Amino acid sequence: MRLNDLFSAPSASASSLLTTLLLLTPAPTSAFYLPGTAFPTYKHGDQVPLFVNHLTPADRDHDTQVRSALAFDYYHPAFHFCKPDGGPQNVRESLGSILFGDRIQTSPYVLKMGVNETCKAACKSQELGLRDVKFVGKRIYQNFNLNWDVDGLPAAQLKFDQDTNSEFFSPGFALGEIRDEKPALNNHYDIVVEYHQAGPDAFRVVGVLVQPSSRADSKYLGEGKAECGDENKPLYVPEKGKLEVTYTYSVIWVPSSTTFATRFDKYLHVYDPKIHWFSLINAAVIVTFLISMVSTILIRTLKKDIARYNRLDQVNLDDLSGTGIADEGVQEDSGWKLVHGDVFRPPKNPLLLSVLLGNGAQLFMMTGFTIAIALLGFLSPSSRGSLATVMIVLYTLFGFIGGYVSSRVYKFFHGDAWKQNFAYTPVALPGLVFATFFLLNLFLWAKQSSGAVPFTTMLVMLLIWFVISVPLSITGSWVAFKRPSVDAPVHTNQIPRQIPPAGGYLRPIPCALLVGALPFGAIFVELYFIMNSIWHGKVYYMFGFLFVCYGLMIMTCASVTVLMMYFLLCAENYHWQWRSFLSAGCAAIYVFAYAMIYWIRSLSFASWTSGVLYLGYSALISVLFFVLTGTIGFFATWLFTLRIYRSIKVD
Ligand SMILES: *[C@@H]1O[C@H](CO)[C@@H](O)[C@H](O)[C@H]1NC(C)=O
């Protein structure tokens, strides 16, 4: 996964600038750097580091399908890429960066600031054996990209977006290409580095493009020298047999007027701003429609209901005949008041529900704050994996909220298995995520893919979780446990009421499908861009859109659940607790279905391992989404029921 690539942003063109401004996206420029940050500066002739990252699948212009979900280590033995003297070293990375797949290592490529080089050998010729040739050929068919990093900038290819009529840098460049239906391996790289002069003999790197090419008759001459072959004679990867490869490169330094602070702007490209607008307007229309519907229906009917109930009460009080006939008058009345003696009856499995809600609340806070932080421009694309790192840190810290909410809900449900509640809350969701990651990792290890999270990283995650998150969660649970419970406005009767059978859309499954569709409707276009950034490696920086969409989704989810639960209560069914959670959570089914459609439409995996990975990640994301929307639905309904039952008089 390349979630860390979830950045992108506005290019300089006027239309997207407008989009940017309107969408509250931070000015991408200096916002990424705090004032006073020392920018890396080089003197003429200083060596600029070139690091290599993992190889990732991509789509090509002639082929919009991504064919793999795996990523490979740059120094995977089959590639035989040149290694630096003394072997490659790992470069320090943030936790988020490692978790989302970055494997950054040193390389033999020497870039000297401002010194042009033509045709240098990266190392002596490499011989690819039978199996290596097969492996490399397959990776070329799957459109794998090399990902290099020069002074913190991803090496890119220049692309042109016809929709917005603008050029932009697309990170990564091709391992090889298909020529005459045969795979050709790129063994020469023209590295174009744009530099900016910041002072006398002070230069900064502000852009990196790599133009790879395939040259069959390159020769290694010894001592770092080489002879570069003709570009028009590609180095084909044979189906059978060995292959001798000479890797060569040239370095071209081009002065540029781009300043260091704005060097990422070219990379942050907005794909289809029109579709983004469409998505936003679409969501806004749904939400306005829903909220006006909910408010008119509910407020009007409720006012009438409450007035009627209270008038009937008045009649009862006036009519002091004491025969109980008047009471029956109320009883015969229909509507949600009838279930007042049951509406706050604890649901079945209160422990499970409270644990899920606690975890949902934690997820809710984490998502909201992450998007807000990204929106404010604190997630610099120059520090890799910052998005993932922020997510992990926030999730850990919000452990307190998770514990608190779980415990508070549990108390309201009159639960008594407190130890279990305390223990399960911090374990449930992280446990699930760990288990999924671990299982998927087994596949990745078996495939020697670099996507596998290193064992030590897993240990670090466990440590963070045990040392910080679990104690925070337990503290939260304890605080809520000590507080008095939320007051139910009406008493619960001893004997549960019979629930009359309900038909139509109030049956569990139609109800859930109906409720789930609308929050999904609020986000589905945005989902397309997120999926593109995860699986197609397209940079995503539309946090302004995402923030608004998140808000709209919350409102849709809350209002449609409340509306449905109102109908449910009117039908004298008081099992709103699980129903609200499950119905709202049903949006996740649509998300999963969407992921499957996306698979059919824009991915065509060549191996079943990729399929398993895709399924695994999709299922995991859907489950998280289920808990998130379910929690929103439950709390909206809870507040609603407390509110309406508080406003009626019950004797
Ligand atoms: C390097 O070569 C390019 C293209 O030939 C040229 O435009 C540029 O000025 C050269 N840079 C230096 C520092 O000589």
- Over residues 346-390, the pLDDT tens digits come to 999 999 999 999 999 999 999 999 999 888 877 766 667 788 888
Closest by CA position to 342, among listed 616, 131, 618, 645: 645
Report residue 446 as tokens.
């078996």
The tokens of 384 are what?
A: 């890799």
Please answer whether residues 402 and 425 qualify as being in contact, where contact means their C-beta atoms are separated by less than 8 angstroms. yes
State the angle between helix axes of 576-585 and 508-535 in degrees (0 to 180), rounded to the nearest 10: 40
Ligand 1 centroid, distance to 477 Cα (angstroms): 64
- The residue whose CB lies within 8 Å of the most ligand 1 atoms, and thus the one to mutate among 43, 44, 117, 253, is 253
Q: What is the pLDDT of residue 333?
A: 61
Q: Are 53 and 384 in contact (CB under 8 A)?
A: no
Task: Please name the helix (run of DSSP H) or strand (run of DSSP E) that holds residue 3, with its range, or none.
Answer: none
Instruction: Give the pairing of strands 153-154 and 188-199.
Output: unpaired
Residue owning the nearest CA to atom 11 of ligand 1? 253
Q: Distance between CA 259 and CA 621 in Å, rounded? A: 39
How many Å apart are CA 7 and CA 588, to the nearest integer? 25
Residue 175: predicted pLDDT: 93
Give me the residue label for tokens 């391996």.
185
Residue 633's φ and ψ, nearest 5 degrees, are -60, -45
For the chain, how many helices (H) and strands (E)? 17, 21
Atom 13 of ligand 1, residue of closest alpha carbon: 114
pLDDT at 25: 40
Q: Using CA atoms, how far apart are residues 22 and 548, in angstroms rounded to an integer?
A: 12
| Residues 553, 18 contacting (CB under 8 angstroms) | no
Comparing C-alpha atoms, which of 82, 188, 621, 5 is closest to residue 363? Answer: 621
CA atoms within 13 A on the CB side of 195: 30
Angle 239-243-248 from CA coordinates, rounded to 5°? 130
pLDDT of residue 427: 92
Strand 50-52 to 148-150 pairing: antiparallel
Ranges assigned E (strand) in 156-200: 156-161, 166-171, 173-174, 176-179, 182-185, 188-199
Residue 116 CA, closest ligand 1 atom number: 1
Task: Please name the residue whose Cα sits nearest to atom 14 of ligand 1.
Answer: 116
The C-alpha atoms of residue 106 and residue 149 are separated, in whole angstroms, by 10
Neighbouring-strand partners of residue 176: 185
For the CA of 255, the closest atom of ligand 1 is 9
Contact 266, 157 (CB under 8 A): no
Q: How many CB atoms lie within 10 A of CB 258?
A: 17
List Cβ neighbours of 612 (8 Å cut-off, separation of 6 or more): 440, 443
Q: Which residues of the chain have pLDDT under 50?
A: 1-32, 35, 320-332
The residues that bridge with 227 in the sheet, in sequence order, are 219
Which letter does DSSP use for residue 254 in this model?
E
Best CA proximity match to 477, nearest among 421, 396, 412: 421
Do residues 245 and 207 make contact, with C-beta atoms less than 8 angstroms apart? no
The whole-angstrom separation of Cα 565 and Cα 630 is 13
For 509, 582, 632, the CA distances from 513, given in Å and listed in that order, are 6, 10, 16
Instruction: Name every protein residue with a CB atom under 6 angstroms from any ligand 1 atom.
Output: 114, 116, 252-254
Give residue for tokens 């509910």.
298
Determine which residue's CA is closest to atom 3 belonging to ligand 1.
252
Prediction pTM value: 0.83
Q: Which amino acid is at 271?
A: Y
Residue spans of alpha helices (H) in 413-465: 418-446, 455-464
